[in-house]
Chain A
Amino acid sequence: MRTKEANVLYPEGRVRDPSAAAVAGKYWAIFRTQLLNSLAYPIDLLGRSLLIILFMWIFMNLWRVTYGATGARSIAGLTLADTMWYLMMAEAVMLSKRDLSETISEQVKDGSVAYLLNKPFNFILYHFAAGLGGSVLAFGGNLIIGTAVVWLMVGPPPGMTGWIFAGAAVALSWLLDFCFSALIGLSAFVVEETNAFRWIYQKFLLLLGGVLIPLDFFPAWLQTVSLNLPFAWIIYGPARLFVDPSLARLGRVFLQQGIWLAVVGGIVWFIYRRAAARLVINGG
């Protein structure tokens, strides 16, 4: 047994030369494990997805009255059906994104972050892969249930292009949202309470991100403000792309998401580098 086993793994002195595939495989495995973990409680998963029914029902009543009162078929270029499909996508993203900031700040505070650091992976990428693994199922569930409900209310959804474009943009949304969460989570190294930051971020998403109302309905100045902030590109960008899947819009959404990812992601990376050094000194 000894001779057989001895050669199975790293023979002594071998210099590891991890291929890009092996490194990607790591994060894929983390993603997959988190996915399996969410599947461990399917009822729970379903329960959370049912929330979207309530949201869509409220929105439907709200906007039917509004459209009825104005008498117009479309407001700012959006029909009632467009608005509902927009809100469905916005809610699906909002309800499925996982709040990693809480996980991270808990781990920083109780020191368990240290136990993740003695494995050969990057802490930030680990959380991103795990967060994504936790989100996709919830997102899928929200989409299926949301689509069924909104279809009954206002008729068929946008075409295939809308789904594909929105899907791609949502992936970047999660990434951007994750950067904000990581920023909030890592701030636990400096301040003891991170809840205030979390609260502010949530409110920015709700009000200026387009979760409750398509930004097109805002007065012009507020629209300008919102569209120049990152929050719109987490929710509004993909949701609006869903109901208006033009190439021009796709390009604009990607460009904005790319810019904000570079900015916020860069800050996270910088802070993480410093925080990790500090963590190792202060210990768990």
Chain B
Amino acid sequence: MNAISVRNLRKTFQTKRKAAGLRGSLRALWKPAFQDVEAVRGISFEMEAGELLGFIGPNGAGKSTTIKILTGILHPSSGEAAVLGYVPWQERQALAFQIGSVFGQRPQLWYHLPAVDTFYLFGKIYELDDGSLKRRISFLAEAFEIEELLETPVRKLSLGQRMRCEVAASLLHKPRVLLLDEPSIGLDVVAKQRLRMTIQRMNELEGVGVLLTSHDAGDIETLCRRVIIVNHGEIVYRDKVSALKRRYLTVKTVDVRYNEQLAPDFRLPGVEMLKVGRYGAKMRFDTRITPVEPVISGLAAAGSLADVTVSEPSLEDVISAIYARTEA
């Protein structure tokens, strides 16, 4: 059975529209005008049990809306979804015992209290008995390396420390599916890396399935095997992360420097020249169209080489390219 399956999910928000100024306010009071915002427009996907699935897309793409529907706090306008066999918006409370969620922009830990107090509260809310709760807390404290932080009021923790505590708190009841909405928001590189490692570890250790949204391609690259890219409420790409790379990382950028002056009309067939200077050049080509070999020999034939740098686009660039393609 799939951990999550979503079929043709749609969500349209109705927002009140109001013209500026007092007159606009009065008119809105008298005769409110509504505007439809189609946040999610027919999304379908499946997530296997124990899978790490990445969900990325630009601002307003509908990621959070999808996650909210899957936790049961939002009703879709149409379509079907099942999380661990439950229809989230119909069986929210029963589902709550089986899933965990973290909304990076909505901390759940009590701000003025040490995290361990919230841990105890959540333990009670999820109806754990004292013995297993204690064992669970010490297990998670070790896994997330937060033993030293648990007794400190949350307001005194750094963002990275706090987020590790947040994710640990969401795992107290040992959920089978974890929904993470931008857990890495605002974290620096080191803190991100640390959080990723812990999530990965919990996935290996307990087989918890993770649906993760992020703006950071690095999160997806290191954590997820499969990725879904959404834009304007629709899925624009879905595949294995490795396939994404294989397919889009074929564009190479080459930077060459020579010991002698270059001919000003220096060109190579099938290669786009980005810049040609007196002692060097910058160019780009796609290995699926232009093979590497003739390009390299063409470069060597043009003069005495001083230096060559070949670079691939980052996953970030790839994703921007996919967004750009879907905008058109």
- Point out residues on A near B: beta carbons under 8 Å: 1-2, 5-6, 8-10, 12, 16, 18, 22-23, 25-26, 28-30, 32-33, 36-37, 40-41, 112, 114-115, 117-121, 280-281, 283-284
- Going nearest first, the 10 A-B pairs with the smallest beta carbon separation are A29-B124, A9-B174, A114-B73, A40-B112, A22-B127, A283-B74, A120-B96, A281-B75, A33-B121, A118-B71
Indicate if B323 sits at the interface (CB-CB under 8 A): no
Q: Is the CB of A115 within 8 A of B174?
A: no
Q: Is the CB of B128 within 8 A of A9?
A: yes
Partner of A9 from the list B106, B118, B173 (CB cut-off 8 Å) is B173
Indicate if B225 sits at the interface (CB-CB under 8 A): no
Indicate if B110 sits at the interface (CB-CB under 8 A): yes
Indicate if B117 sits at the interface (CB-CB under 8 A): yes
A33-B113, A119-B125 known; A280-B139 Cβ under 8 A: no
Partner of B68 from the list A1, A23, A36, A114 (CB cut-off 8 Å) is A114
Please classify the interface of chain A as helix (H, G, I), strand (E, B), loop, or mixed, using the class held by over half of its residues.
Answer: helix
B65: which A residues are within 8 A, CB to CB? 283
A37: which B residues are within 8 A, CB to CB? 110, 112-113
A5: which B residues are within 8 A, CB to CB? 139, 205-206
Closest to B122 in A: A119
Closest to B107 in A: A115
Q: Is the CB of B108 within 8 A of A115?
A: yes
A26-B127, A280-B73 known; A8-B174 Cβ under 8 A: yes
Min Cβ gap A71→B in Å is 54
Closest to B99 in A: A118
Supplied contacts A32-B121, A280-B74, 6 more A-B pairs, CB within 8 Å:
A8-B136, A8-B139, A12-B176, A25-B124, A37-B110, A283-B73
Jot down 14 A-B pairs with beta carbons below 8 A, ordered by A: A2-B205, A8-B135, A8-B136, A25-B124, A28-B124, A29-B123, A30-B125, A33-B113, A37-B113, A40-B153, A112-B106, A117-B73, A118-B101, A284-B68
B2: which A residues are within 8 A, CB to CB? none
A29-B120, A114-B68, A115-B106 known; A10-B73 Cβ under 8 A: no
Indicate if B267 sits at the interface (CB-CB under 8 A): no
Min Cβ gap A223→B in Å is 41
| C-alpha gap A22/B153 in the complex (Å) | 27
Which of A6, A23, A283 counts the most B-chain CB atoms under 10 A from its CB?
Answer: A283
B72: which A residues are within 8 A, CB to CB? 117-118, 280
Q: Is the CB of B68 within 8 A of A26?
A: no
Partner of B113 from the list A36, A115, A119 (CB cut-off 8 Å) is A36
| C-alpha gap A12/B175 in the complex (Å) | 10
A37-B110, A37-B113, A120-B126 known; A115-B121 Cβ under 8 A: no
Q: For chain B, residues 137 to 179, give those with C-beta under 8 angstroms from any C-beta of chain A.
A: 139, 153, 173-174, 176
Q: Is the CB of A8 within 8 A of B125?
A: no
B206: which A residues are within 8 A, CB to CB? 2, 5-6
Indicate if B86 sits at the interface (CB-CB under 8 A): no
| C-alpha gap A32/B110 in the complex (Å) | 13
Indicate if B45 sits at the interface (CB-CB under 8 A): no
A40-B113, A118-B92 known; A283-B121 Cβ under 8 A: no
Min Cβ gap B134→A in Å is 10
Indicate if B132 sits at the interface (CB-CB under 8 A): yes
- 0/1 per residue, B89-122, Cβ < 8 Å to A? 1001100110001010010101011000110111
Partner of A284 from the list B73, B92, B132 (CB cut-off 8 Å) is B73
- 0/1 per residue, B18-53, Cβ < 8 Å to A? 000000000000000000000000000000000000
Partner of B117 from the list A12, A23, A28, A36 (CB cut-off 8 Å) is A36
| C-alpha gap A69/B127 in the complex (Å) | 62
| C-alpha gap A32/B112 in the complex (Å) | 14
Closest to A18 in B: B127
Indicate if B13 sits at the interface (CB-CB under 8 A): yes
B153: which A residues are within 8 A, CB to CB? 40
B132: which A residues are within 8 A, CB to CB? 8-9
Q: Is the CB of A283 within 8 A of B127?
A: no
Which of B13, B106, B176 counts the most A-chain CB atoms under 10 A from its CB?
Answer: B106
A23: which B residues are within 8 A, CB to CB? 127
Closest to A11 in B: B174
| C-alpha gap A225/B290 in the complex (Å) | 93
| C-alpha gap A37/B124 in the complex (Å) | 17
| C-alpha gap A23/B65 in the complex (Å) | 31
Closest to A19 in B: B127
A16: which B residues are within 8 A, CB to CB? 97, 127
